[in-house]
Structure 1
Amino acid sequence: MKVKRSNIVRLTVNGIVCFFICVLSLKAQDKGPNIILIMADDLGMECIEAYGGTSYKTPHINKLAMQGIQFENCHAQPVCTPSRVQIMTGKYNVRNYTRFGELDRSQITFGNLLKNTGYKTAIAGKWQLGKEEDSPQHFGFDASCLWQQSRPRFDSLRHDTRFSNPVLQINNKVQHFTNGEFGPDIVSDFICDFIEENKNEQFFAYYPMLLAHYPFVPTPDSKDWDSKSMGSLINKGDPKYFADMVAYMDGIVGKIVAKVESLDLSENTIIIFTGDNGTEKLITSMLNGKDYPGGKTRTTDNGTHVPFVARWDGKIKPNTKSSDLIDFSDILPTICDIANADIPSEFVVDGTSFLPQLLAERGTSRKWIYSWYSPHGNLRVLKEFTRNKEYKLYSTGKFYNVKDDFYEKNPLPMAGLSEKERQVYKELKNALKIYKLARVEKK
């Protein structure tokens, strides 16, 4: 049987078309979703109503938790820079922490890894990780709108420059705002604009918020907001404004969620909310009917226990809670897992992906987490520990039941340990040994 040449050509063209359709289909399957990571500044889990907090109104974050998953046992480092280094690199501070306000430029971040995968990347909010002009781009971000990038926290008259009439760097260009602008509005607008501009692309938006860090000041929703203020002259401001700042922060979360929904991106976007460390020590909140003091800078639970909620329509089952233990080293591998981003084999990651738990699968539950905490890199004031949900062991040998002894006032005597406690002690001591030789001193 003879086949006409025209039919052969037609069949060949159809085959090529089918081939490319299949290839594109496979690529579409491999293509990860958009990722938005929001990290509040100085906000422990007790500030969120969904966690049992009753001092502040957080309806948008509550809704995010109801529409997705809420992790009950997420821990950060006790203060700003250590947490930021850990969340961005997936490594415990013992491996790569240098000093406060710096991220070693030899490090690779989730920005680098997602950019290399084809994501459009942006960072907006608080930087405080090195004063080089090209820092955001060096660490993988195409676009940036940052406070405290290459400029200090204060202006020449000692006004704090992050809130009213702020000083920001937008794509590395310093801009002084003097028309009554509010810093959190500018940076959240930047995030929303980035989402809009990249609605047809894969994007990763990292938003380390300015709120609700001190100075505690009025927001544009406060009765005594002053649009002419050039920033607080009082280092920590007035704690009476903390509630206003938390409410405004929550509203910004709602604003970003609304932007995603308005662009019909909810099923292709995972939105994550967390906090970088415990609440400022000046603040005492109510949690489940009891006083809960802020513990920023402390290694007790009120210094490290932070909220972590995530929503991904059609993927994460609504109104889910997980009691699994996670920490900030887990976020990079989880984001890379979500994005189908390769992590180079030579790249050391201390964290474990919890993507299975996000998707209501079993996953690998962590038996312990580790912390190496020295904000200024001074080993004389180092606090190093491993812990599970109930017990904590410091490298000094002090062993606590943190569930019963919240303030860690009463170390458990070795002679009085139960069989279960002896087993936990052994596991945590072995975990400490893993990092005994991990510290590489930086000059």
Structure 2
Amino acid sequence: MKSTILFLCVACLAVSSSKALEQPNIILVFADDISARELPVYGSSVWTDPKGKNTDAPNYRAQTPVLDKMAKDGCWVTQCWGATVCSPSRAMMMTGRYAHRHKWWTNGDLGTVITDKNKRMPWPLYESSPLLIGHVAQQAGYGTFWAGKTQMKGSDLQKFGFDEGCFTPGEQGAPSNPHTDFVLKPVGSYSGPQINLNSGARVESSYGQFSWYWKPHVRLMNYPGAAPLSWWPNTPESKASFGVNTFGPDVELDFIFEYIDRQQAQKKPFFIYHTTHLGHGAHDWLSPGNSQSWTPTPKVHWDGKSYTRTDPNITGDKGIFEFNDSITEPGIHKHLEYIDYQIWLYQQKLEELGIADNTVLIFCADNGTSKYGKHSPDRQKGTHVPLIMYAPGMSKHGRQDIMVNLSDFYPTVADITGAEIPRDYEIDGESLWPYLMTNKSEHRKWVYSYRGPMQLIRGEQVMLDGNGAWWDVTSEPDDLISYREIKDWGKALEIQREEQEVLMRVIAPYDLHASAHDAPGTPPEEKKQKKKK
């Protein structure tokens, strides 16, 4: 099997690495709805403004000095692909597999299984893929912590291989949080008119949600001394300070750092899977008129060496708030700047504990930016995400013109931790570790993705998008998307025609949406017939 072979290869090739690592800690920061073009290091001529439009306005360009330096000291990958939307990308990351195996085709199109109670439900990833990325790290003796967004519909979060967790807003289907009224409660269905429980106002166009930013819904998993799933705030001190000025991403990082401290006290390595919501739009309870937007964040300031953060000073209630110049304007650029601040906090924590030289730090995202790429099968708008990595002793630095798929992180974590994936356990990812740590010059010849029945694939010469269009990718356009469409293959280069044939053969075994949509043995779902009036 690919991953096992790579595992054996890296054991031999590691001798050529400039610095061997001993059970390195791993921090994987997995952001939400952020296209590669939003990060300055990618050099795009356009990015996204607060309304979701293309812009080249400098004031809407995120400033990310920490990630920029991490890309230089470590490396950044020009072509990293996820799926076109959240659930299948997260499934790809956690399983190391494509949808033809795990059956999570796209949001709202998840393969199903019939339960013992004869109920049809989404097929949980721990059933389709019983050895998940958390299990891989646990198998190698790592402590594992999952923070942030889950997006694991119909699943038991305690079966994913994570010892502890801090979830915002908690798993889908979690009961109402007794600590926050920043909630949109459906009037009828999940997607439709809602009631803002803080203001009492009716919201006509949104979907049911708890706040994951301000005054957040927070649930802890397996916190020491507490029930397996328990609410936060959970102490007299945290209850006294909790309120509208509490910012969910801060809470996540507090619990991550507490967990890291406990692991270090026991001298045990850790794997942090930080699936932050930052990058994702949300209902703005602070300014309800903004509806679904990139909500403001606390203000942070970079002085050239370090960050300082301004404590939020929001006052008011019932949908009427004053910000007192203590939070930012809305916009995805501000979310990216807060991510940059949190990456800096990670680095400071690692230095403080003396483990920076034995910790791998990875930043990437699940799919394209909302209103630009999210859900889109057009070219690689939905699939092209940022990837910046740092590992002490790595042989590669700066720009890396390679192709990477989110499924590659599964075998990469196995290689880093020293876990061995069973030979008969099939995966689709290919480990990045040999490329990062040796003189290996290539990683992949192609990168693949999907959106429901649509298939997307990119090679070194040509790309097929989900609409069935082919594109010439031999040169990179300034905006990272305006490739030349190939309409007449008779005028294409011979090498492009040859690669097209190869890529069509590659994707053929993955084309199972129509023939094997659900778990094996699950009868097809009967389509509901609309009643004629």
Normalization by structure 2: what TM-score?
0.67
1:96 to 72, 96, 102: 102
2:491 paired residue number: 416
CA contact (8 A) 1:120 1:142 kept: yes
SS in 1 for 2:126: coil
Relative to structure 1, the CA distance from residue 86 to residue 228 in structure 2 (aligned partners, 3 Å threshold; closer, same or farther) is: farther
- 1:365 matched to 2:446: no
- 1:109 matched to 2:132: yes
Residue 49 of structure 1, CA deviation: 2.0
Q: Which amino acid in the other structure matches residue 389 of structure 2?
A: A
CA contact (8 A) 1:164 1:227 kept: no
Task: Provide the C-alpha distance between the structure 2 equivalents of 1:396 and 1:389, rounded to a whole number of angstroms.
Answer: 20
CA contact (8 A) 2:33 2:368 kept: yes
Residue 254 of structure 1, CA deviation: 1.1
Q: Which amino acid in the other structure matches residue 165 of structure 1?
A: K
CA contact (8 A) 2:396 2:436 kept: no
Residue 410 of structure 1, CA deviation: 3.8
Which is richer in strand? 2
2:159 to 126, 138, 159: 138
Task: Provide the C-alpha distance between the structure 1 equivalents of 2:362 and 2:489, rounded to a whole number of angstroms.
Answer: 41
2:211 paired residue number: 161
1:182 paired residue number: 247
- 1:59 matched to 2:65: yes
Write the deviation string for residues 97-141 of structure 1: whole angstroms up to 9, x where unpaired. Answer: 236386433023110111122110000010010344x41x20100
Which is richer in helix? 1
Task: Provide the C-alpha distance between the structure 1 equivalents of 2:96 and 2:314, rounded to a whole number of angstroms.
Answer: 41
Residue 93 of structure 1, CA deviation: 1.6
Q: Which amino acid in the other structure matches residue 100 of structure 1?
A: N
CA contact (8 A) 1:90 1:351 kept: yes
Let me know the Cα RMSD of the aligned residues.
3.0
Q: Which amino acid in the other structure matches residue 491 of structure 2?
A: G
**How many residues are paired up?**
389
Relative to structure 1, the CA distance from residue 212 to residue 229 in structure 2 (aligned partners, 3 Å threshold; closer, same or farther) is: farther
Relative to structure 1, the CA distance from residue 47 to residue 394 in structure 2 (aligned partners, 3 Å threshold; closer, same or farther) is: closer
1:46 to 24, 37, 40: 37
SS in 2 for 1:255: helix
Gap runs ≥5 in structure 1? 1-28, 282-293, 375-381
CA contact (8 A) 2:451 2:466 kept: no
1:306 to 375, 379, 385: 385
Write the deviation string for residues 294-341 of structure 1: whole angstroms up to 9, x where unpaired. Answer: 31111332321111111122x124743211111111111111111111
CA contact (8 A) 2:219 2:231 kept: yes
2:276 paired residue number: 209
Residue 364 of structure 1, CA deviation: 4.8
Q: Which amino acid in the other structure matches residue 208 of structure 1?
A: T
1:434 to 479, 504, 509: 509
Normalization by structure 1: what TM-score?
0.79
Residue 83 of structure 1, CA deviation: 0.6
CA contact (8 A) 2:146 2:164 kept: yes
CA contact (8 A) 2:25 2:270 kept: yes
Relative to structure 1, the CA distance from residue 360 to residue 219 in structure 2 (aligned partners, 3 Å threshold; closer, same or farther) is: same
Task: Provide the C-alpha distance between the structure 1 equivalents of 2:364 and 2:382, rounded to a whole number of angstroms.
Answer: 14
- 1:350 matched to 2:440: no
Task: Provide the C-alpha distance between the structure 2 equivalents of 1:72 and 1:404, rounded to a whole number of angstroms.
Answer: 10
Identity across the alignment (%): 28
Q: Which amino acid in the other structure matches residue 324 of structure 1?
A: I
Gap runs ≥5 in structure 2? 1-19, 45-57, 109-121, 175-181, 186-194, 198-209, 222-228, 234-238, 283-293, 301-309, 322-327, 523-533
Relative to structure 1, the CA distance from residue 40 to residue 308 in structure 2 (aligned partners, 3 Å threshold; closer, same or farther) is: same
SS in 2 for 1:198: helix
Residue 342 of structure 1, CA deviation: 1.0
1:247 paired residue number: 337
CA contact (8 A) 1:391 1:401 kept: yes
Task: Provide the C-alpha distance between the structure 2 equivalents of 1:345 and 1:231, rounded to a whole number of angstroms.
Answer: 56
2:402 paired residue number: 324
- 1:265 matched to 2:355: yes
Relative to structure 1, the CA distance from residue 113 to residue 241 in structure 2 (aligned partners, 3 Å threshold; closer, same or farther) is: same
Residue 68 of structure 1, CA deviation: 0.9
Write the deviation string for residues 399-440 of structure 1: whole angstroms up to 9, x where unpaired. Answer: 222457835784422333321221111111111223245974
Write the deviation string for residues 211-254 of structure 1: whole angstroms up to 9, x where unpaired. Answer: 02102112122898636568999xxxx98433222211211111
Relative to structure 1, the CA distance from residue 416 to residue 81 in structure 2 (aligned partners, 3 Å threshold; closer, same or farther) is: same
Task: Provide the C-alpha distance between the structure 2 equivalents of 1:232 and 1:154, rounded to a whole number of angstroms.
Answer: 15
Task: Provide the C-alpha distance between the structure 2 equivalents of 1:331 and 1:232, rounded to a whole number of angstroms.
Answer: 44
SS in 1 for 2:410: helix
1:124 to 143, 147, 150: 147
